[in-house]
Amino acid sequence: MTAKARQPRLRDVLLEQVRVTWLALRIPSLVGVGLAAVATVVALPTLIRGGPLNINGWPTWIPGIMGSLMPIAVWGKDERFGPGFLWTLPVDRRRHAFTKVLAGWVWLMAGLVVFLSWLFIMARISGEHVVPRTINLLISPAPPMGLVDPATVRAVPWNPSFLIGLVPFGGATGCYLLGSALVIGTRHPLRWVLGVVMLGALIAVISQPLGTQFGITWLAVAPGRAMEILVGSRYGLDALLTARSETLSTTATLTTAKSLRVWWGIPNLADWGVATLLWTGLGSIALWAAISRHGERRRI
């Protein structure tokens, strides 16, 4: 009786999801711009003086945070489970979910470009380099204890390949994939996050005294070691997010009472590449599993 009703083109669906994601990002973007404006104003005196901004440190976490929070903006409060409007549309559900994820990723990359450009400009104005030209390497490859003797520090020229510019994008993507998997795959992602954090804290609090009491050394040490491996190891989280700049450096006070960023190892881009592949691979698998929960109910 009826002519087959037409389905939309995937390209149109993707474009529409990009537009819709922007609608959800208007307020967070405004907040971000506001924060940046505040930071610029605060840094103004330093900029005028031409002094060092000490950018190293907190900005390296921003890409990871942006990636982790983006899924919330993309999926928002809309029904993901049950008969949500999203799933009643005439598009294959897995593909539809992927277009939403992709739309969010596009805006994530755009937002990062804006953020990094701002950082770059600030750095240039103050005469600094975002990526340091010289690394103050400690002679002994170990974190310093107490005050540092300037004699133990060597200024080593560092000229990493341009690929280092991809570090924030890779880090944000990895976090975005994992965050999306969590948001899409669970009904209450926040409860899961809190649950895992609390469980981890509980284990950490218990295992230490328990281990020392019963003389089980590995138990006392395990939580700390686990965190170390997860974050600071060769392919850990820090490798993904900052190419291990955080694990390999710190701001130390010299015996001359000046403060200086000292390193006990040089970031290795090959390691960073592997770490990125590992984490984005893990994220992709988790995402695919999460999306499949909502797939079309095909029967054999």
Partner 1 sequence: MISDGGSSRSEYAVTTHGLSKRYGRQPALDGVDLRVPDGAVYVLVGANGAGKSTLFKVLMNLERPDAGTAEVFGLDTGRFGPEVRAGIGYVPERQDAPHRAMTCARLLQHASTFYPEWDHAYADHLVRALAVQPQRRVGGLSKGETRRVQLVLALAYRPPLLLLDEPTDGLDPVVRRRALGLLAEHLADTQATVLVSTHHITELESLADHVGVLRDGRLVAQMPRDELQHSVKSYQLEVPDGWEAPPEFQPTGLRRATAGRVVQCTLVGEEREVMQRLAASGAVVRGVIPLSLEDSALAFLPEDPS
List residues binding partner 1 (CB under 8 A).
Answer: 1-2, 4-8, 12-13, 15-16, 20, 23-24, 76-79, 82-93, 296-299
* Shortest distance in whole angstroms from residue 94 CB to partner 1: 10
Are 72 and 27 within 8 A, CB to CB? no
* Shortest distance in whole angstroms from residue 16 CB to partner 1: 4
* Shortest distance in whole angstroms from residue 98 CB to partner 1: 14
Of 173, 216, 223, 221, the residue nearest 197 (C-alpha): 223
> Would you say 36 or 69 has its CB closer to partner 1?
69
Structure tokens at 105: 């990723």
Q: E strands within the chain?
A: 134-138, 153-157, 249-253, 259-263
> Would you say 13 or 181 has its CB closer to partner 1?
13
* Shortest distance in whole angstroms from residue 27 CB to partner 1: 9
> Would you say 93 or 244 has its CB closer to partner 1?
93
Are 71 and 182 within 8 A, CB to CB? yes
Angle of helix 93-125 relative to helix 10-49, nearest 10 degrees? 20
> Would you say 78 or 228 has its CB closer to partner 1?
78
> Would you say 79 or 228 has its CB closer to partner 1?
79
> Would you say 49 or 77 has its CB closer to partner 1?
77
* Shortest distance in whole angstroms from residue 112 CB to partner 1: 24
* Shortest distance in whole angstroms from residue 289 CB to partner 1: 18
Query: What is the DSSP code string of 20-89?
Result: HHHHHHHHHHHHHHHHHHHHHHHHHHHHHHT-----SSGGGGHHHHHHHHHHHHHHTTS--SSS-GGGGS
* Shortest distance in whole angstroms from residue 86 CB to partner 1: 7
Of 271, 286, 280, 177, the residue nearest 232 (C-alpha): 271
Structure tokens at 42: 């605060």
What single letter denotes the amino acid at residue 198? Answer: M
d(CA 105, CA 169): 10
> Would you say 49 or 298 has its CB closer to partner 1?
298
